[in-house]
Amino acid sequence: MSDTILEAQRAPTGIRSLSMQQALNAALSDAMALDPRVLVFGEDVGALGGVFRVTDALQSRFGESRVFDTPLAESGIIGTAVGLAMAGWRPVPEIQFDGFAFPAFDQIVCQLARMNYRSRGALPMPVTVRVPSFGGIRAPEHHGESLEAYFAHVPGLKVVSPSNPHQAYHLLRYAIAEPDPVIFLEPKARYWNPGEVTQEPGALEGAVIARPGRHATLVAWGAMVARCCQVAELAAEDGVELEVLDLRWLKPIDEPALAESIGRTGRAVIVHEAPLSGGLGGELAALISQLCFGRLKAPVERVTGFDVPYPAGDLEDEHIPDVDRILFGVRRVLEYGRG
């Protein structure tokens, strides 16, 4: 990752304000310019530039051989990516929406994640699968899924989700440069929020503290990071100082960061959009309970989506953890044991 530089002509000062969608587009463009082996393909990524315009103008810049539309079949997209990687390319396929990763599940789990293993390193899979993910935009069915728990369980995969434009840019560059397959979950609800993207990536492995605090730690990723920061803002008005830990990498999980933060605060609330049962919050709560055993002042709380299919637009605000539900969770960890 030494060469993670924004292109000079696009960021003469090294700092610019971009939306996450723009930052991702810039990351793809810069990665393709630097490495001629990078390929971008998927449904509607070419002339259209993707339904979220994350691949905007890449085809005109890099040509139809390096940026191309495929037929409408997600298993086909990932299976083709596996073959392209076998031929020495560095594919960055897009799955148009989270819910449409399921048809590709077999190729991801049984092929992409295992080819390096199966071939004992002869056929590495430097593939970054971009997936516009999570809910919050009133989209139709299957357009609001949280996939991290599924993928974080798959041996051979790494999973990451950025929470702001700066991370989006640098983590995508990092993921593309990785020699291992990375599932890159883009929080589509944050595509249009602007933020500063600086030339200096900062550390790209592990978690980051999005907001420091000392009474309890909120653990989140993707769009929930901004929401947790909002919660922390509100809580601060009441004198409660919440730390927000932006996990970023969902596999591997940054265990030292969890131990450090929650070891300090003694209280943790995990926030995710996915359903509670079997969600990544379980893994996290298990790790925290183990790493901070004896130092926890309250059981780890999980404020999550319910154990229900991701609902229609009207009901998504009831489903995704909102400020109030997170505050209730915070209150539970703060008041625990006080009777």
Ligand X SMILES: Cc1ncc(C[n+]2csc(CCOP(=O)(O)OP(=O)(O)O)c2C)c(N)n1
Question: Would you name the residues annotated as active-site residues?
Answer: 143
CB closer to ligand X, 62 vs 100: 100
Tokens of 143: 């357009």
98 binds ligand X (CB under 6 A): no
Tokens of 140: 């139709």
Q: How far is the CB of 233 from a second copy (least distance, A)?
A: 27
Binding site for a second copy (CB under 8 A): 75, 99, 102-103, 105-106, 109-110, 113-114, 117-118, 141-142, 149-150, 152-156, 251-253, 274-275, 277-287, 289-290, 293, 296, 298-300, 302, 306-309
Q: How far is the CB of 40 from another protein (least distance, A)?
A: 13
301 binds ligand X (CB under 6 A): no
**91 Cβ partners below 8 Å, 6+ apart?**
38, 39, 41, 80, 81, 84, 85, 127, 128
Q: How far is the CB of 11 from another protein (least distance, A)?
A: 26
Could you write out the three-class secondary structure of the chain?
Answer: CCCCCCCHHHCCCCEEEEEHHHHHHHHHHHHHHHCCCEEEEECCCCCCCCCCCCCCCHHHHHCCCCEEECCCCHHHHHHHHHHHHHCCCEEEEECCCHHHHHHHHHHHHHHHCCHHHHCCCCCCCCCEEEEEECCCCCCCCCCCCCCHHHHHCCCCCEEECCCCHHHHHHHHHHHHHCCCCEEEEEEHHHCCCEEEEECCCCCCCCCEEEECCCCEEEEECCHHHHHHHHHHHHHHHCCCCEEEEECCEEECCCHHHHHHHHHHHCCEEEEEEEECCCCHHHHHHHHHHHHCCCCCCCCCEEEEECCCCCCCHHHHHHHCCCHHHHHHHHHHHHHCCCC
Q: Which does 286 bind (CB under 5 to 8 A by kind): another protein, ligand X, a second copy, none?
A: a second copy
Binding letters toward ligand X, positions 51-90, x by CB under 6 A: ---------------------x------------------
43 binds ligand X (CB under 6 A): yes
Touching another protein, residues 274-303 (CB under 8 A): 276-277
CB closer to ligand X, 103 vs 212: 103
Stretch that binds another protein, among 185-193, 209-217, 227-235, 323-331 (CB under 8 A): 323-331
Q: How far is the CB of 36 from another protein (least distance, A)?
A: 11
48 binds ligand X (CB under 6 A): no
Binding residue for another protein, selected from 31, 46, 213, 246, defined by CB under 8 A: 46
Q: List the one residue out of 127, 24, 128 whose CA is nearest residue 83.
A: 127
Q: Tell me if 136 sits within 8 A of 126, measured CB to CB.
A: no
Please give the backbone phi and psi of residue 287, each rounded to the nearest 5 degrees, phi first. Answer: -65, -45
**Amino acid sitting at position 141:** E
Stretch that binds another protein, among 4-12, 84-92, 192-200, 207-215 (CB under 8 A): 84-92
138 binds another protein (CB under 8 A): yes
Binding letters toward another protein, positions 202-241, x by CB under 8 A: ----------------------------------------
Binding residue for another protein, selected from 5, 34, 105, 180, defined by CB under 8 A: 180
100 binds ligand X (CB under 6 A): yes
260 binds another protein (CB under 8 A): no
318 binds another protein (CB under 8 A): yes
Q: How far is the CB of 73 from another protein (least distance, A)?
A: 4
How many residues contact ligand X, by CB under 6 A?
A: 5
Using CB under 6 A, list all residues that contact ligand X: 43, 72, 96, 100, 103
